[in-house]
Amino acid sequence: MEANMHNMEERLWSYIDGAVDAAERTVIEKLLQENAEWKAKYHELLEVNSLLQSSELEEPSMRFTKNVMEEIAKTHIAPATRTYINKNIIRGIFIFFITLLVAFLAYGFGQIDWTAKGDTNIPVDLSKVDYSKFFNNTYLNVFMMINVVLGLFLLDRYLANKRKEFQKEA
């Protein structure tokens, strides 16, 4: 019963706001003609709507604009976010990671014996891929880890800035 009432109110509010399609409008108009409960609720909501339209804005003190302008005189407009985010740095990071990925893939494919025939259909014997040429050095491993962490950190910063920019734009 309460759910029906709730649904009726929601549909009537949408109708009053003009946020219904033609089919829904026809259905509601028919209900308003035939159903006394719908008609009474409609007039009630219409009254609330008209009261809300008649509500007034509050006014701040007479000195408000002057106070704001006095504060603003002490400050400056910050440069737009887009002016201090260097897109070349972002592009550089992107190219670095793509190059790294392509290099690993190229090396991986270089290890494959395409002419070999085995039991399986996959022409790659992962156990024979020689990673040691690249990962035999602690310093290299540390360097790679730092790069990965740095890359993720920069990506996070980039996405956070994008999000902030989007929110500001909104």
Partner 1 sequence: MSTGQNDNEIISLVLRGDQQAYATLVSRYQNYVFTLSLRFTKNREDAEEVAQDIFIKAYKALADFKGNSKFSTWLYTIVNNTCITFLRKKRLETHSLDKEGVFEVADSQDSGLRANMVEQKSKVAMVNNAINMLNPDDAEIITLFYKSEQSLEEIAQILGLETNTAKVRLHRARTRLKEKMEKHFSEEVRDIYN
Within residues 25-54, the interface with partner 1 by CB under 8 A covers 44-45, 47-49, 51-54
Residue 115 engages partner 1 in binding (rule: CB under 8 A): no
Residue (45 or 93) nearer to partner 1, CB: 45
Could you say whether residue 62 binds partner 1 (CB under 8 A)?
no
Please return the burial class of 41, using the count of CB atoms within 10 Å of its CB with bins 0-12, 13-18 and 19+: middle
| Residue 61 binds to partner 1 (criterion: CB under 8 A) | yes
Q: Where are the alpha helices (DSSP H) in the chain?
A: 2-17, 22-34, 36-54, 64-72, 81-84, 87-110, 138-169
Calpha distance 165→130 (Å, rounded): 45
Total binding residues for partner 1 by CB under 8 A?
43
Q: For partner 1, give the closer residue by CB, 9 or 154.
A: 9
Q: Does 148 bind partner 1 (CB under 8 A)?
A: no
Specify the residue, 57 or 122, whose C-beta has the smaller distance to partner 1: 57
* Residue 24 · residue 15 · CB < 8 Å: yes
Applying CB under 8 A, which of residues 4, 33, 36, 75 lies at the interface with partner 1? Answer: 75
* Distance of alpha carbon 61 from the chain centroid: 39
